[in-house]
Structures are given as structure tokens and as C-alpha cells.
Amino acid sequence: MSAVTVPAVPRLESTGRVTQARVIVSEWTKLHSLRSTRWSLLVAVVLTIGLPAIFAAVTSSHWAHMGPHERADRHPLDIALGGVNLSQLAIGVLGVLVITGEYATGMIRASFTAVPKRLPVLWAKIVVFAVVSFALMLPSVLVSFWASQAILSNIQPLHTSLSAHGVLRSVVGGAVYLMLFGIFCLALGAIVRNTAGGIAAFVALFFVIPPLLNVFPTSWQNAINPWIPNSAFRSIFQLTHSSHSLSPAGGLAVSLGYVAFAVGVAAVLLVRRDT
């Protein structure tokens, strides 16, 4: 035999079975052990809180010079939730990366070798992403609300409170919106299996296509607009609802429908496709 001694491979006393709970623990380890995750989430928190603080400070300092129409246009919740419009980009990118990062690096082969039934991996990614994003975004929108109200304290017309009609629903809705949007993006990522493609897909659906609908006659727009993903998702946290937009509950229901559809397509493809 050779001079090089091989240390015996230590035996494992007992091997457990793969369970959904264990795969969730594994996905939590995967999520927090990547620098890109921590950065995306930090950016989302900073934007959600920071932008409204800036908006509030600017509004506060210019209030004296504003005319009546301009003042009437200002709404405290638009200011408090203004950061959501930008932080959703960070959340969307993270949602896509949670799955496409594995395809890009080949990690998906290791994941599917450990969990060859595959679907537990998708469910676990969704659960972990949902819990983490909501747990961070809910405090962020609440802090954003209180911070912007504190900055606007000298402007009586822009005062509101969480107990005012629809305000708590809007603020919490902001966090729900970000979470559902992120899950939708995760599903898009699982469908296209490519980071650039996944980001392009959600940017097209939520930011590029909606303004294009303006070429249609107004009657068409009023019929279509409420139902497109962008409008339906935003109905969850918008304070005011016109006859041409869905109610908060309606928006939530339609959004959940979109999320369920995207996740369903992702699940079917995940099981069927070669890796």
C-alpha cells in the first residue's frame, strides 16, 4: 500500500430524512450566508425609511412657498410610502437572485441532489423570502411613517395617525406589497432561470408596460388598468381608490392570484425541466 495514509471517513451515526422544515432551515442558511442578500436587504431598508424622510424634509421647508393647489396635492401617506417605489427594485432583484443565483453558479445541481423532489426547495425559498422580507419591511414602513410625521409636525394639514381611517391598512399594506412583489419576482426568476432575464421580466411587467397602455382609448384603459399586475399590487397600499381602481381587498385578491399563477408555472417547470 501507499505511504500516504488516508484518514478513514468518519461514519455518521444516523442520517435523517429530508423534511420540508429541514429544507426551510437550509434555505435560511443559504439566504443569510450571501453578501448580495445582506446588501439588497440593507438597501431596501435604507430606501424605505430614508426617501420619505428626505421628501418630508423638502416638503416641510417649502411649505410656506407652496400655493393652495400644490399643498392640496401633498398627502402624508404618499410621503411616508414614497420609499416603497424605489426599495421594490432591491426587493425584486433579491427575489430573482434567490433562485437564479443557484442556476448561474451551478448550486442548483447540489440543491436538487440533496432534495431530488425539488418542490420543497421552491416552497422553502418562498417561505424564507416572505418571512425575511416582511419582517424587515414592516418595521421599515412603520419607522418611515413615524419619522416623516415627526418631520412634518409643524404642518397641520399633513398630520395623520395610524388610527385614522385606512392609514394603518395602507402602511402595513406597503410591507405586504413589497413581500408579494418579491415572491412574484422569485417565481419569475424560477421560470426564466437567468438573473438578467428575471430582472428584465419584472421591470417590463411593472414599469415599462403600464405607461404603454396610454396609447389605448380611455375607456379601454379604465377597463384594463385596474387588473394589470402593477395596478393590482399597488391597490394593496394606496389610500385613495377611484372607480377605476380595485379596492384594497380586491387588489390583494388579484395580486395573490398573480402570485399563485406565477408560482404554479414555476413549480411545474421546476419539476419537469432538466437541470
Partner 1 sequence: MVAVIEATGLVKDYGDKRAVDGLTFSVQPGVVTGFLGPNGSGKSTTMRLILGLDAATGGDVTVNGKHYRDHRAPLHEVGALLEARSVHTGRSAYYHLLALAQTHGIGRARVDELIDLVGLHDVARKRAGKFSLGMGQRLGIATALLGDPHTLLLDEPVNGLDPEGIHWIRNLLKALAAEGRAVFVSSHLMSEMAVTADHLIVIGRGKLIADTSVDEFVRLASGAVVRVRSPQATRLRELVLGPNVTVTSDEPTVLEISGTTTEQVGEIAAANGIVLHELMLEQASLEEAFMELTRDDVEFKAEMAA
Residues of this chain that interact with partner 1 (CB under 8 A) are 2, 4-12, 15-19, 22-23, 25-27, 29-30, 33-36, 101-102, 105-117, 272, 274-275
Give me the least distance between CB of 177 and partner 1, in Å please: 28
CA distances from 176 to 94, 223, 229 (A): 16, 25, 15
Give me the least distance between CB of 45 and partner 1, in Å please: 20
State which residue, 6 or 212, has the beta carbon closest to partner 1: 6
State which residue, 100 or 245, has the beta carbon closest to partner 1: 100
State which residue, 97 or 136, has the beta carbon closest to partner 1: 97
Give me the least distance between CB of 155 and partner 1, in Å please: 46
Burial class (CB in 10 A: 0-12, 13-18, 19+), 179: buried
State which residue, 27 or 78, has the beta carbon closest to partner 1: 27
Q: Cβ of 204: how many Cβ atoms within 10 Å?
A: 12
Give me the least distance between CB of 14 and partner 1, in Å please: 9
Give me the least distance between CB of 198 and partner 1, in Å please: 16
State which residue, 49 or 93, has the beta carbon closest to partner 1: 93
Any idea which residue has 468518519 for its cell?
A: 10
Give me the least distance between CB of 18 and partner 1, in Å please: 5
State which residue, 52 or 101, has the beta carbon closest to partner 1: 101
